[in-house]
A = this chain, B = another copy of it.
């Protein structure tokens, strides 16, 4: 090509349209809507768990970014050919892994609008609707959950949309930490103790680590099958008393409603009672199961929350709102603000000074924030309370159905009782084998390996996707119903798939 100066070359290849040209936006936007609609139309046929090997994509893509622009049609083709094989289809009706990431049209559209406005809602001033809609929908959802008034803005508490539970726990922990350190002195940070159970989500441990809590001072109280893997109230009291005697300072308790391993439910009320005696901040993590509490028949699982300090659930898990959308309510927003506020000159404004507005930047880790409230608002309005309850009940009903199918097959057992829409089950080793071995430990190991094998065999087929947990030493398969497209027929087929693979293992 010779030696044309870079600038000339670049000008030659410049595309004429503005990158936000409305007509081009319309054209390309419609293309992508159809692409995604087609994806949902055909999603059922795709292998649920991606079947690629590590490094697959590097082999398919160029070493560096293109110098010249490429058309959207080509890019979409590459999405289809190169990206799609590496996608695990969380939206597939045959997806029963981890916890659901339940998308919906309303959630999707809300995210589109938010991306379209693309405002940076750090404070009220930067786009008042972003802040005000968030406060309003958080009060709406709080009322649907029958949270006590003290968690709502109308009762001097308030809600905020965080990205994830990790952030929600970290923010509340920092608030609790600084409230305590202001009393006992900064130099005592190494004395602060955080409590959870051995079933508490690792987000708690990570938050404690980030907040500078001494790693030795994250106390995970052991649980057991005898109390369904819930945090034992008396063990907590003993641990607290022991720690105080050792010169430590109890700070924070994370109680879980619907643990990740088995959807166990910690006794919120009694735990709060103990915590109160020792001035411990209680956060209730209902990331998964919180959504179900909009149904009157499930609400009792969070009874006692009126004595907690903060409560969170992930609307992006089981509430039809796309990732990420963690709803956090606190009784004392000022403790968050004290710990997390900044006041740089360039953000000073009359509204903030008037103290009539919420500046959400002081309720979270990051300064910049997306307009997440739109998607939650669209979900609440598009479906309404009645349908949302029905959707959740339907998932529970399907899980119950699956539970029944497992119970009817003598080769299997339900490991822990089902509470919501997740079934924890496992295959039992053939009696002959247990007898032959006559060794409890060996037999347990064998059962675990057997189920691991069964799970891998099922997932490798691509027909359904489930994941595992280990509880009380027992390896179990978790079957979580909650993908939005799942219908009863998918659950029935899923069980057949499990049975077929069990058959193939010769058991």
Which of B35, B40, B50, B322 is A115 in contact with, Cβ under 8 Å? B322
Set of chain B residues within 8 Å of A215, measured between Cβ atoms: 186
Set of chain B residues within 8 Å of A380, measured between Cβ atoms: 65-66
Q: Dominant SS at the A interface?
A: helix
Closest to A36 in B: B116
Which of B55, B83, B344 is A260 in contact with, Cβ under 8 Å? B344
Which of B9, B260, B386, B470 is A67 in contact with, Cβ under 8 Å? B386
Kindly list the 4 A-B residue pairs having the minimum CB-CB distance in the complex, ordered from nearest.
A212-B212, A86-B129, A29-B33, A26-B37
Whether, in the assembled complex, A378 has its beta carbon less than 8 Å from a beta carbon of chain B, the answer is yes
Set of chain B residues within 8 Å of A367, measured between Cβ atoms: 164-166, 202-203, 206
Closest to A137 in B: B65
Bound-complex Cα distance A70 to B117 (A): 22
Set of chain B residues within 8 Å of A186, measured between Cβ atoms: 190, 214-215
Tell whether, in the assembled complex, residue A113 and residue B36 are in contact, meaning their CB atoms are under 8 Å apart.
Answer: yes
Per-residue contact bits, chain A 1-37, to B (CB 8 Å; 1 contact, 0 not): 0000010011101110011111111101110111111
The answer to whether residues A87 and B129 also contact, given A20-B484, A346-B260, A346-B478 and a CB cut-off of 8 A, is: yes
Which of B6, B132, B189, B387 is A14 in contact with, Cβ under 8 Å? B387
Tell whether, in the assembled complex, residue A57 and residue B25 are in contact, meaning their CB atoms are under 8 Å apart.
Answer: no
Tell whether, in the assembled complex, residue B86 and residue A39 are in contact, meaning their CB atoms are under 8 Å apart.
Answer: no
Set of chain B residues within 8 Å of A470, measured between Cβ atoms: 345
**Interface 9-residue window, one of A119-127, A228-236, A305-313, A411-419:** A119-127
Set of chain B residues within 8 Å of A316, measured between Cβ atoms: 368
Whether, in the assembled complex, A256 has its beta carbon less than 8 Å from a beta carbon of chain B, the answer is no
Which of B75, B107, B366, B485 is A163 in contact with, Cβ under 8 Å? B366
Tell whether, in the assembled complex, residue A342 and residue B206 are in contact, meaning their CB atoms are under 8 Å apart.
Answer: yes
Bound-complex Cα distance A439 to B357 (A): 38
Tell whether, in the assembled complex, residue B21 and residue A366 are in contact, meaning their CB atoms are under 8 Å apart.
Answer: no
A192 to chain B, nearest CB (A): 10
Whether, in the assembled complex, A58 has its beta carbon less than 8 Å from a beta carbon of chain B, the answer is yes
Whether, in the assembled complex, A111 has its beta carbon less than 8 Å from a beta carbon of chain B, the answer is yes
Set of chain B residues within 8 Å of A329, measured between Cβ atoms: none
Bound-complex Cα distance A98 to B369 (A): 14
Tell whether, in the assembled complex, residue A133 and residue B83 are in contact, meaning their CB atoms are under 8 Å apart.
Answer: yes
Tell whether, in the assembled complex, residue A54 and residue B365 are in contact, meaning their CB atoms are under 8 Å apart.
Answer: no
A104 to chain B, nearest CB (A): 4
The answer to whether residues A339 and B209 also contact, given A120-B101, A344-B202, A386-B67 and a CB cut-off of 8 A, is: yes
Set of chain B residues within 8 Å of A83, measured between Cβ atoms: 129, 133, 374
Tell whether, in the assembled complex, residue B70 and residue A381 are in contact, meaning their CB atoms are under 8 Å apart.
Answer: yes
Whether, in the assembled complex, A108 has its beta carbon less than 8 Å from a beta carbon of chain B, the answer is yes
Set of chain B residues within 8 Å of A26, measured between Cβ atoms: 33-34, 37
Tell whether, in the assembled complex, residue A54 and residue B87 are in contact, meaning their CB atoms are under 8 Å apart.
Answer: no
Tell whether, in the assembled complex, residue B118 and residue A103 are in contact, meaning their CB atoms are under 8 Å apart.
Answer: yes
Tell whether, in the assembled complex, residue A105 and residue B354 are in contact, meaning their CB atoms are under 8 Å apart.
Answer: no
Tell whether, in the assembled complex, residue B58 and residue A132 are in contact, meaning their CB atoms are under 8 Å apart.
Answer: yes
Per-residue contact bits, chain A 188-211, to B (CB 8 Å; 1 contact, 0 not): 011000000000011101100111
Set of chain B residues within 8 Å of A116, measured between Cβ atoms: 35-36, 39, 91, 103, 108
Closest to A84 in B: B129
Whether, in the assembled complex, A356 has its beta carbon less than 8 Å from a beta carbon of chain B, the answer is yes
A79 to chain B, nearest CB (A): 6
A236 to chain B, nearest CB (A): 21
A and B contact pairs by CB, cutoff 8 A, 30 listed: A14-B386, A20-B91, A21-B105, A22-B37, A22-B38, A22-B40, A25-B36, A26-B34, A29-B105, A30-B33, A39-B117, A50-B128, A54-B356, A65-B143, A65-B144, A68-B386, A68-B387, A69-B382, A70-B381, A101-B118, A103-B116, A202-B343, A205-B342, A206-B340, A210-B340, A211-B212, A323-B370, A324-B370, A345-B469, A346-B468
Per-residue contact bits, chain A 238-260, to B (CB 8 Å; 1 contact, 0 not): 00000000000000000000001
Whether, in the assembled complex, A458 has its beta carbon less than 8 Å from a beta carbon of chain B, the answer is no
Whether, in the assembled complex, A441 has its beta carbon less than 8 Å from a beta carbon of chain B, the answer is no
Which of B30, B201, B322 is A30 in contact with, Cβ under 8 Å? B30
Set of chain B residues within 8 Å of A209, measured between Cβ atoms: 174, 339-340
Tell whether, in the assembled complex, residue A469 and residue B370 are in contact, meaning their CB atoms are under 8 Å apart.
Answer: no
